[in-house]
Chains A and B, each alone.
Chain A
Amino acid sequence: MNTEILKVKNLKTYFAINKSSGKKQYVRAVDGVSFSIKEGEIMGLVGESGSGKSTIAYTIMGMYRPTEGEIIFNFNGKSIVTKSNKRSLEFKKNVQIVFQDPGSSLNPYHDVRQILSLPLRVHKIVPKDKIEEKIAEILEMVELPASFMYKTPTSIGGGEKQLVSIARALCSNPKFIILDEPTSSLDVSIQAKIINMLLKIHREQKLTYLFITHDLSLMRNISTKVAIMYLGKICEIAPTEIFYKSPLHPYTQMLLSSIPVISEEEEALKPKKVVSTGEIPSPVNVPKGCSFHTRCIQCMDICRTEDPVIHQVSEDHFVRCHLYKS
């Protein structure tokens, strides 16, 4: 149970911009990120838009070429290193992704049967004559009726579309699924339904999730480990219980204090005396020193000049901030 299924070491993904003007500049979307996920974990990767969380997902999937660093998958003792965009079929079978917007990630000209049969055929999961049976089985897994097979994505609702995308990810019996904000465009009542479904599948199929989101209160309820990202770097990473009991990084405290909550008990859990200020700067011009110092209320002189390195504060709790330098 405790084997690491994914290990990301010092991952960097840069995008070159202004190529034509001669001055080559880089957007450092992901800038030296390291983390590992154990089998059976649900890791939450949280950050504001532009923090690079989706870029990490796409780099892991092989959709972007990493500028530097290593991504090592470990399935049944066999490690797969994803190098650039030459991914083996075995890798594609084991690692799947569910995108944020189901409207644009499902082909509107195909019906659900065609959408789901492609991965079944590619990975030769079942013989050709049993494909429809298998599709019905997978649809049942996400609690959709088998008659859904003949519908097209345009004729079904947003929540149902997202269920079809989840079903598509499940087709190849993956071990690891990346969920890129799967519920952020949906209503809370449908979000609750989909999250419950994902948790049920997680238990039954013994999966590992990397859950990308901006919703910290959702992560409190489902994840085992949370990492906070800001401008391409991880600020704080800790197991869920410890994370919410003692959030250390000033940015984490700011994020937690800005969540709109619906009860007094929750209000008491939010860090006090933290006022959110400013906006995330453009990743083209990352501030010098600690990238968060422009918005930090506890900013010191050292923060303006020196970029902090990640410190270990307790066994699994890591913070990248000068305040906690031992």
Chain B
Amino acid sequence: MENTLLDIKNLKVWYRTYKGYAKVVDGINLFVNKGEKVGLVGESGCGKTTTMKTVLRVLDSKVATVPEGEILFKNRDILKMKYNELQQVRKQSISMISQEPTAALNPVFTVGSQIMDIIRYSEQYKDYSKSEMLSLAVKTIKDVLIPDPERILNSYPHQLSGGMKQRICIAMALVTPRELLIADEPGTALDVTVQDQIHKLLKALVEEKKMSLIMITHSLGVARELSDRIYVMYAGNIVEVAQTKELFKNPLHPYTLGLMECVPRLYGGGISEGIYGYIPDYINPPAGCRFYPRCPSAMEICEKEKPPTVSVSEDHKVACFKYH
């Protein structure tokens, strides 16, 4: 276990609502090794972002509660950390890229001052002079392949295009050395050609800096391109995990299969029927397997009992009674 950077154990996250608790994340187990790129795939509302926001503890504690679970970052539980320790992790160890670059940047400060803030408050460059910090910022902007970095540093976010803004967000996440990068659908708000560039850039930078990456996405194609291992999430549960190649060669869980059939293929052949039904209500989720009401191969036991995760091969785990 020396090699494990982040280890989430049986994490549950509930949101308070006026109807009762919405049990959004329902006991997930997930780990990331050092230097590994992990994909977390699922449809909207399945709890991917909630999980990752819990890792950084940025969810509003008045609304979200964690009734159970551990998030071990380098063997220390993030959920039990004191404020100062937590800030240390946020400043120096984990960074996050959000889905919407426009919302992530502050519109009233220049890009340069926002990047400089990160360098200053990371406390890793205490003995740097201002000009040294500035040259570090320029270097980072060059790393994300933006021409004319000096001009960019003096511009405001609204003067930049969507792709540029997302590049700036990546630069901000990578400007100080970190161990883990959480990327929350960084390409979703962008055009396909720009998305492709951003993903390639992200992959190259993460590999160069030997960081670990958690790539949150709803697209199996993106996960296939960017990750070594993929977790498939449905309604707050990890339903399947496998090495990328293995998952696409041999998908097992009915949800993974359904999801793969839904993706329109480049060689044509029409569109599949889709998955029957909709994502369940989190306040009163199905008692057994949460996928049971939509599952084409549901059995009697699925309605009553939650399927445990079983290993089908060394790295391939699936939570389904079919493989019991």
Residues of A within 8 A of B (CB): 48-49, 157, 159, 187-196, 199, 214-218, 220-222, 240, 244, 254-263, 265-266, 269-270, 276-277, 279-280
Contacts and interface: CB of A to CB of B under 8 A. Distances in A.
A192 B191 contact: no
Interface string B186-221: 000001111111010000000000000000001111
Interface residues of B, number: 41
18 contacts: A188-B43, A189-B258, A189-B274, A191-B262, A192-B262, A195-B271, A199-B271, A217-B263, A220-B265, A220-B267, A221-B268, A258-B196, A261-B224, A263-B248, A270-B266, A276-B193, A276-B194, A277-B197
A320 B32 CA distance: 48
A266 B191 contact: no
B189 to A, nearest CB: 10
A140 B273 CA distance: 17
A255 B195 CA distance: 11
B66 interface: no
B88 interface: no
Nearest to A48: B191
A164 to B, nearest CB: 15
Interface of A is mostly: helix
A212 B171 CA distance: 34
B68 interface: no
Interface in B239-297: 248, 258-275, 278
A193 B267 CA distance: 20
Given A192-B261, A255-B192, A260-B196, 9 more contacts: A49-B191, A187-B43, A221-B271, A244-B266, A254-B193, A258-B195, A262-B224, A262-B263, A266-B265
A157 B272 CA distance: 21
B161 interface: yes
Given A49-B191, A217-B265, A196 B221 contact: no
B191 A260 contact: no
A261 B269 CA distance: 15
Contact of B248 (A49, A159, A262): A262
Contacts of B192: 48, 214, 216, 255, 258-259
A192 B163 CA distance: 28
A188 B219 CA distance: 8
Given A214-B192, A261-B221, A190 B274 contact: yes
B264 A215 contact: yes
B222 interface: yes
Contacts of B261: 192
Nearest to B275: A189
Interface of B: 43-44, 161-164, 191-197, 199, 218-222, 224-225, 248, 258-275, 278
Contacts of A216: 192, 266
Contacts of B264: 215, 217-218, 220-221
- 3 closest residue pairs by CB, A with B: A260-B221, A258-B196, A192-B274
B218 A220 contact: no
Given A262-B224, A262-B248, A189 B43 contact: yes
A279 B262 contact: no
Contacts of B196: 257-258, 260, 276
A196 B273 contact: yes
Nearest to A160: B278
B194 to A, nearest CB: 6
A262 B267 contact: no
A152 B193 CA distance: 38
Contact of A262 (B199, B218, B260, B271): B260
A262 B220 contact: yes
B221 A221 contact: no
